[in-house]
Amino acid sequence: MRVETKVRSNLRSGAIGCYAYPEQDIYYSVGDPGKINIMNHLSTSIYAAVSGVGVGRWGVEVENTGQWAIEPENKQYWLRDKDESAHVSRPGSIGGQSAQVHAARLGMILHIQKLPSQQVWQGIQSVAVHDAQYTSSPTTLTKIGIKNKTRFDIHVSVFSAVQGGNTEQYSMKPGVTEYWNRTHPETVFVSVGSSPGVPKAYLGRPGFVLNITSAT
C-alpha cells in the first residue's frame, strides 16, 4: 500500500522516478514549453551540460553550454528553442569515464535513472595521431591550435616541455579556436561537457590546429 501511495503521488507531481520504467537507464515525460529539463533519480549528484543557445534576460541569446550540478531527486532546466543534446556524467574522475550523451528534447523532461560507473581506474585514454583530426596552419608554425567542434564546452590543458610554460586548464565554447605558444609537439589534455576532470590525451603539433570532434 505504501508503494502504491508513492506511485500515485509521483504520477500527480510528474516526478515518476524509478516507478515508471525501472529497467531503463532514461525515459522522457512532458515538461514545460521552451525548456529542456533533466531530472536526477540517482542517489548521488550528477553533472549535465546541454548544447545550443538559450535566451537570457531581455531576450538576449546566451550560450550556456557549461557544466551544471543536479542533486539527487532534483532537476535543472535550460531555455532552448529546439531539441539539443545532453552530456551527463557522475562527479569524480573514475565515474566520469562513463559519461553519456542523450537526446535533450524541447518541452520534455529527461529522467536519468541509471548511469554506468567504473569502479576501477582505467587510466587516461589517448588518441593516436592517425585517429585525430588536424588542420594545417602555416601562419602559426610556433603555435599549437585547438578548435572545439563539439556542441559542448571543452576544457583544455597544453603541456610544456619547458618549465614555466602556460599549462593551465582553459574552457572553450563550441566553434572557438585558441592557440598556445609551443615550438615542439606537446601532450594536450582535453575533456568535454559535463566532465572537465576526465580528459583524453592528444598530440598537439605546432603549425596545426587539433580539431576536437568527439563528445565522449
CATH of the domain at 96: 2.60.40
DSSP state of 120: S
- Single residue among 88, 112, 136 that ends a domain in this structure: 112
Give yes or no for residue 19 having a pLDDT over 60: no
Give yes or no for residue 212 having a pLDDT over 90: yes
Give yes or no for residue 168 having a pLDDT over 70: yes
- Structure pTM? 0.78
* E-state strands within 67-132: 68-70, 75-79, 84-89, 100-104, 108-112, 125-126
Count Cβ neighbours within 10 Å for each residue of 25-64 and write b for 16 or more, e otherwise.
ebbbeebeeeebbbbbbbeeebbbbbbbbbeeeeeeeeeb
Q: Give pLDDT tens digits for 106-130.
A: 999 999 998 877 767 777 889 999 9
Residue pair 76/38 in contact (Cβ under 8 Å)? The answer is: yes
Q: Are residues 108 and 10 in the same domain?
A: yes
User: Residue 51 — pLDDT band, cuts 50, 70, 90?
Assistant: very high
Q: Domain of 49? A: 2-112
Q: Give pLDDT tens digits for 74-84.
A: 999 999 999 99
Residue 58: what pLDDT?
54
Percent of the chain with pLDDT over 90: 57
Q: Are residues 94 and 161 in the same domain?
A: no
